[in-house]
Amino acid sequence: MSGADTSHREYVRQLFNAHYLWLSARLSRYLNSSSYAEDIAADTFVQLLSTPQALDIREPRALLTTIAQRLIYQLWRRRDVERAFLMTLSSSDQDTAPSPETMVQLYQALDWVEHQLDNLPDKVKATFVLSRLNGMTYTQIAAQLGISLRSVSDYMNLAQSRCSKPDSTLLKSRPPKTREYV
């Protein structure tokens, strides 16, 4: 471990000690759940720790709030996908309902798609989600995001190419996520 790595870790540790309780309390009021707030706050510091280089942060609370809000949006997006999936399953005929093994494979595929989308720019992710989850047309997406139809088409092509070929090593290497069915 290099000196830069240790100094960055020490810096993040100091930020954690100084701001974790504040961030947890703030998120708890926002999420109405102390357990979710603690998880998001901890994940916020993990993301900060995983930055490639040491940062000198002038406004740590602003940065921590921004990172935490992105994590909350990811949580909500995941819940929306799961809710839509469960609604589809509940409305389908019980005889055609997927087996538990198929359900696990479907959740692994959703996790993989989510991982692929996390590595894309925000407008590309938003375009893909609006199209696939909300069923919006390219024209509607262009109007909502304030981009051209050509950009919508390009963004969809990029997202679809990233999400079309799951890497089997990725599916095996990612630990299964715990799920809440509320």
Per-residue pLDDT reduced to its tens digit, 16-67: 999 999 999 999 988 888 898 999 999 999 988 887 766 678 899 999 999 9
Per-residue pLDDT reduced to its tens digit, 161-178: 887 655 444 444 444 444
58: helix, coil or strand? coil
pTM: 0.53
CA 159-163-169 angle, to 5 degrees, is 140
Task: Give yes or no for residue 68 having a pLDDT over 90.
Answer: yes
At 182 the pLDDT is: 34
Counting residues of the chain whose pLDDT is more than 90, the rounded percentage is: 24
Q: In this structure, what DSSP letter does residue 72 have?
A: H
Task: Give yes or no for residue 97 having a pLDDT over 80.
Answer: no
Range picked from 84-88, 113-117, 146-150, 163-167 for highest mean pLDDT = 146-150
List the single range of 29-43, 58-72, 81-95, 104-118 with lowest mean pLDDT.
81-95
Query: Between 15 and 85, where is the model more confident?
Result: 15
Q: How many CB atoms lie within 10 A of CB 58?
A: 7
Name the residue among 37, 13, 27 with its Cα closest to residue 65.
27
CA gap 94, 10 in Å, rounded: 54
Helix axes 122-132, 100-118, angle to 10 degrees: 150
Query: Between 18 and 77, where is the model more confident?
Result: 18
Distances (CA, A) of 96 to 9, 15, 104, 118: 51, 52, 16, 32
User: Residue 180 region, left (φ>0) first, then alpha (ψ -120 to 50), else beta?
Assistant: beta
Name the residue among 104, 102, 99, 30 with its Cα closest to residue 71.
30
The token pair at 116 is 């692929």
Question: Tokens 């959703």 correspond to what residue?
Answer: 110
